[in-house]
Amino acid sequence: MASRRHVFISHHHADDQAVTNMTNMLARNGYEIRNSSIRAKPANQERLKKGLVSDNTIKRLLRMKMSWASTVVVVIGKNTSQRPWVDWEIDQAKRQGKRIVGVYERGGTENDKPASLEQYASAIVNWNAESIIAAVEGANSFQTPAGNDRPAVHAASTSKC
């Protein structure tokens, strides 16, 4: 039986395919991800674009979805650093005391990484099943997009709940 983890995957909707690719890659390695994040269907995406859903409604839904997860995984893709909802989700994950793991999508760069992720992450790893699984399981590793080890910018939290 595969290991199963409940996570919330924070990502820009343009990276939906990357989320699918990552969960499939992890499943091939015996690691099942139950993702509680929101992936808007085309009809709902139109409602969002037209401003027919209030920010407060979206925040309430995101908080509920995130509360179910033990870890928040942030997909770092092109322009992730410019996505206000990704920043909000990282800040909310910190407020909820969640483990926060950044994963560089193939082609993701240091410049794509949100500043709040660097500040709050327990781990930031490259697109590699072994690295992602280790980070979700509790390894506090920090890597470049190429997978080279690097030091953490912030001191790791030592508090336990």
For residue 43, being part of any structural domain is answered with: yes
Percentage helix, strand, coil for the chain under 3-state DSSP, each rounded to 5: 45, 20, 35
For residue 14, being part of any structural domain is answered with: yes
For residue 125, being part of any structural domain is answered with: yes
pLDDT score for 39? 66
The answer, yes or no, to whether residue 160 has pLDDT greater than 80, is no
Least confident of 39-48, 71-80, 84-93: 39-48
- Cα 49 to Cα 9, 10, 19, 35, 59, distances in angstroms: 21, 19, 21, 23, 16
For residue 144, being part of any structural domain is answered with: no
For residue 127, being part of any structural domain is answered with: yes
pLDDT tens-digit readout, 39-61: 666 666 677 677 777 889 889 98
For residue 129, being part of any structural domain is answered with: yes
Identify which of 101, 103, 77, 106 has the alpha carbon closest to the alpha carbon of residue 90: 101
CATH for 108? 3.40.50.9200
For residue 13, being part of any structural domain is answered with: yes
pTM: 0.87
Structural domains of the chain, count: 1
Domain that holds residue 133: 3-137
